[in-house]
Amino acid sequence: MLAYIGRRAVLAIFTVWAISVLAFVIIQLPPGDYVTSYIAQMASMGSVVTDEEAQNLRIQYGLGQPIYVQYLKWMRLIAQGNFGMSMEWRRPVTEVIGERLWLTVVVSVAALTLTWVLALPIGIYSAVRQYSAGDYLATFVGFIGLAVPNFLLALVLLYLGFVLFNAHIGGLFSPEFSDAPWSGARVWDLLKHLPIPAVILGLAGTAQQIRIMRANLLDELRKPYVVTARSKGLPESRVITKYPVRVALNPFASTIGYTLPYIVSGSIIVSLVLGLPTVGPLLLKALIAQDMFLAGTIVLLLGVMTVIGTLVSDILLVWIDPRIRLEET
């Protein structure tokens, strides 16, 4: 068991490293650098940045060095636990990201929970009643979430929220709480803002989860141990829930790994439309402004979250599924 976790951990670290490189490259891909976009921004506001100024800026920001140099520089910073300075925000990256990261996680987890609450029963139902009208209906409902372009849905809900319920527009906090210290009231305020994003993001993932659950369960339902259970005289409901469902849950659990990042990634667009103070909009702005340390760090963090997610779910899988446990150890 430990050996297994150890091995996976090593792999994870490798992956993270690879991501850090990739992240850095991605950000360098677009033409120009932060200074270019800074000048452009100034120009479109009518003020002018001369070539000399631009040159100075580049030197001050250490831009213009070859990519690998900049990368190593960044790595050195990270090694010191300092993710660098955000050029646009003129603040340490860690401060800029700050609680946005946790809010991202909160939103994503909320969405994930919703996904499961929907997907599990639906999946079980449509497996047990394969090809029944209910099966189709359930799957249909599941797919709607997948099919609706979530940025549009987000906007419509935002507007209806205002027209019908006079809800506060967007964000995760009412103005008075937006940078208040954490308190019961603030948490409550957060909860009040959660539903819309959670629903929009949750729906998207549901269909996929339903599929997985249904498929797994269909497999299990055909196993003899189900017959055994029946032949004991167990009531059908118990037969299903105690045995096949329990077993089908194992591979299902292993989907957390990529569902979470899937949601986080999806949350970028939705966050933008709903104006959520998550890393999503920050990332977009950073990428556009080519604020490389900020963008790089965010991509890296999201990547790390994914890797950890995968790691956790694998370990979880090993932990809840004795078979694997035995093979692995």
Of residues 113 through 172, those in contact with another protein by CB under 8 A are: 131, 136, 139-140, 143-144, 146-149, 151-152, 155-156, 158-160, 162-164, 166, 168-171
Closest distance between another protein and the C-beta of residue 2, in Å? 20
Among 115, 250, 254, 313, binds another protein (CB under 8 A): 250
Q: Judge contact between 280 and 272, C-beta under 8 A.
A: yes
Whole-angstrom distance, CA of residue 174 vs CA of residue 273: 17
Nearer Cβ to another protein (73/195): 73
Nearer Cβ to another protein (68/179): 179
Angle at 44 between CA 84 and CA 290, to 5 degrees: 25
Closest distance between another protein and the C-beta of residue 3, in Å? 18
Q: Judge contact between 263 and 278, C-beta under 8 A.
A: no
Backbone angles phi, psi at 86, to 5 degrees: -75, 125
Q: Residues 3 to 42: which contact another protein by CB under 8 A?
A: 11, 14-15, 18-19, 22-23, 25-27, 29-32, 36-37, 39-42
Closest distance between another protein and the C-beta of residue 219, in Å? 6
Among 183, 231, 241, 329, binds another protein (CB under 8 A): 231
Residue 151: CB partners within 8 Å, gap ≥ 6?
A: 269, 270, 272, 273
Nearer Cβ to another protein (192/223): 223
Q: Which of the ranges 1-9, 59-67, 106-114, 182-190 carries the binding residues for another protein, by CB under 8 A?
A: 59-67
Q: Tell me which H or E stretch contains 179.
A: none
Whole-angstrom distance, CA of residue 322 vs CA of residue 318: 7
Closest distance between another protein and the C-beta of residue 116, in Å? 19
Q: Judge contact between 92 and 99, C-beta under 8 A.
A: no
Per rule CB under 8 A, count of chain residues that contact another protein:
130
Closest distance between another protein and the C-beta of residue 175, in Å? 5
Q: Residues 251 to 290: which contact another protein by CB under 8 A?
A: 258, 261, 264-265, 268-269, 271-277, 280-281, 283-285, 287-289
Q: Does the footprint of another protein cover residue 64 (CB under 8 A)?
A: no
Among 9, 13, 43, 69, binds another protein (CB under 8 A): 43
Q: Which of the ranges 2-10, 110-118, 195-203, 321-329 carries the binding residues for another protein, by CB under 8 A?
A: 321-329
Taking 3-state DSSP, the helix, strand and coil percentages for the chain, each rounded to the nearest 5, stand at 80, 0, 20
Q: Does the footprint of another protein cover residue 182 (CB under 8 A)?
A: no
Among 199, 203, 302, 318, binds another protein (CB under 8 A): 302
Closest distance between another protein and the C-beta of residue 100, in Å? 9
Q: Judge contact between 210 and 119, C-beta under 8 A.
A: yes
Q: Does the footprint of another protein cover residue 81 (CB under 8 A)?
A: no
Q: Residues 186 to 205: which contact another protein by CB under 8 A?
A: none
What does DSSP assign to residue 1?
A: -
> 174-204 b/e with 16+ CB inside 10 Å = b?
eeebeeeeeeeebeebbeebbebbbbbbbbb
Helix ranges (H only) for 129-255 are 133-147, 150-165, 184-193, 195-221, 224-231, 236-240, 246-253
Token pair, residue 167, equals 């809800």
Closest distance between another protein and the C-beta of residue 1, in Å? 15
Whole-angstrom distance, CA of residue 58 vs CA of residue 50: 12
Q: Does the footprint of another protein cover residue 318 (CB under 8 A)?
A: no
